Amino acid sequence: MQIMNRILKLMLITCALFSCLSAEIVRVKGKGEIVYSSSIFKQGSAEERQAIMEAKKNAIKRYAADFEPARFELYSKNEAAILAKVDDFIVDYTQIDQQVDKTSKRYMVIIEASINTSLIERELKVSSVAGNAGAEEKSNIVFIFVAREMASRKAFDEKRTLINSEEKAETATENSESPPNANSAQASADSSKTTKQTSGGSSEFKADAVTYQVSKAAEIDSAVNAVLGKAGYETVDPADAGLDVAKFKEDFSTGNDISAATRTEAIKVMRENDVRYMAIANMDVGLAEKDGVTGMTRVYVTVNAKVTYIPPAAPVGGPKKLPKTVASIAGKPYSGLGSNPQVARTNALNEAATKSATELTDQLRMKNVK
């Protein structure tokens, strides 16, 4: 029996260690302040513990302050529940500073807390509709995230149109004079000529014609799948949903969105296959550059994305149900570092895919999409 208990304890310790290793820990400072009632502040008192508790809560609030707007709004709805069990999310803490003001009877403490962000994410997931929905209640989501890099750019010269006009005016005057001798007469004439020239015109500029090389990287799909799955959403491969990914790539090779024909066909196929949500994103990969701080190579990726809700087809004779955009990202930049341009590009795409998918997911959670 004792051997079994030891084995069980060993298993529990191993699981706890594995949980800590797999969790993401961030260090955040927090400040707590209280007014003590006793004449002398005592270390180890209930009042000190209260101040430390306030510092822990402040650390959680500081951590949440860096959330994207949709995630922060989701956190705000659950803040009271999270702060009520703050010790569940803080692995440990280090006391950095403390001050006792005997005049005002105030005690202030500053700590640096280790926050288990995975547990906070789990708390947000449990509170969402998608996190609580059963498999049969969840809607299918198809996502198409493509990366593109500039293949060619055609620049057009300035077109200049010039207009010249000229105006002329002539005037003449005639004078007659009678001399004393009436038998003779003298006449004279004066004339003047005025010329006015006006020039002007207009310039016409034409936007560059840009062509992109579009690809659909496996690392992007893996990152997006991980985020959506972690949040409790069911994803479907575009090919399984009947979508022609090649058409999406072709459209993004010359424009910033899919064509009307591609969109119409996609919506038709999605309705036929009972898929309610379609996420589309194009990720523009910039040129590699040297990072001034680390000396490594940095690559930026700019993301434009949106999630469209596709309602079921309307019954015969019924009102038409139109698709609606339920989440979007407009021109958001992300970056990645690496020892060379290829590594930096891969890291930037992973960062962009993970962060943009997280932001879209939080927007869906806020609208109770499941």
Phi-psi region of 314 (alpha: psi -120 to 50; beta: other; left: phi over 0): beta
- Give the pLDDT score at 206: 53
pLDDT at 213 over 60: yes
- Give the pLDDT score at 219: 83
Percent of the chain with pLDDT over 70: 76
- Give the pLDDT score at 128: 78
pLDDT range class, residue 7, cuts 50, 70, 90: very low
Model confidence pLDDT, tens digit, residues 301-322: 999 999 999 999 888 888 888 9
* Cα 48 to Cα 100, 173, 365, distances in angstroms: 11, 109, 38
Q: Which of 52-56, 83-87, 114-118, 208-212 has the lowest mean pLDDT?
A: 208-212
CA 252 – CA 216 distance, rounded (Å): 11
- Give the pLDDT score at 193: 62
Model confidence pLDDT, tens digit, residues 52-98: 999 999 999 999 999 999 999 999 999 999 999 999 999 999 999 99
Q: What is the mean pLDDT of residues 320-325?
A: 92
> In the predicted model, what is the mean pLDDT of the chain?
84
Alpha-carbon dihedral angle through residues 309, 312, 316, 320, given to the nearest 10 degrees: -10
CA 95 – CA 154 distance, rounded (Å): 60
Q: Which of 64-68, 206-210, 290-294 has the lowest mean pLDDT?
A: 206-210
Strand pairing category for 25-35 and 186-204: unpaired
- Give the pLDDT score at 19: 41
- Give the pLDDT score at 368: 87
- Give the pLDDT score at 21: 39
What are the chain's domains?
Answer: 24-123 (3.10.129.140), 139-154+209-366 (3.40.50)
Do 324 and 333 form a contact (C-beta atoms < 8 A)?
no
Model confidence pLDDT, tens digit, residues 148-206: 998 755 555 566 666 666 666 565 555 555 555 545 545 555 556 666 666 666 665 55
CA 234 – CA 81 distance, rounded (Å): 27
Model confidence pLDDT, tens digit, residues 336-348: 999 999 999 999 9
pLDDT at 8 over 50: no
- Give the pLDDT score at 212: 84
CA 112 – CA 101 distance, rounded (Å): 22
CA 323 – CA 318 distance, rounded (Å): 16
- Give the pLDDT score at 171: 57
